[in-house]
Structure 1
């Protein structure tokens, strides 16, 4: 059976490690790498989109990073229980015209016993920023 360490039940150290691993994977901008952290039948809500399974995750992330250029993400642990983690995050990117954005949000994660995320629910808001106002580089 596939496993993704650390495994639940989480404590502060392992929840923090899981968040850092997710941040590192997303900052790689490699959809295949990111998708391996999720169950094959994973359920997502990302803004108003509903995404199911690794194939849809890869398709979604591929399109995302074709539009969100020079993407840089920072995640922070918000809370955790046995197999759940909540994070707050912000990321910055620019579009093809050069307009910069900062996106803020929260995610709720639910893991199976093998450490794979089976559910991810994200609420995200974008704010226009000037390039000189970037915080994440």
Structure 2
């Protein structure tokens, strides 16, 4: 909905400009959108209202986290383990990024639904050939 509105409002905007608009304005637009839905008698789903209210100010940290058959562990500098499960990779198009998990946080949202979001704070390697990556 947001991108459709922005494309109508800025018909000559490039994809990069639309992405920048999203980064700068989406949170405010989203809050206004939910408020408008409530004011016009079209209440949004409960989880949308809970997101607009924002998360709790306290987050939990975990030394390890398991989800969907994968186990993640926070990198410790002085580890003596033979296996390492703190490494992660993420791909975007043709690029693949590699890094280490530095912190695992659980952010909770107040409300009846009790939504939570797991955030992995990672230290990413430099994947530029010649700088951080060597090619054989």
TM-score (norm 1): 0.25
> Which has the greater radius of gyration?
2
Indicate the structure whose relative CO is greater, using CA pairs within 8 Å and at least 6 residues apart. 1
Q: More strand by proportion, 1 or 2? A: 1
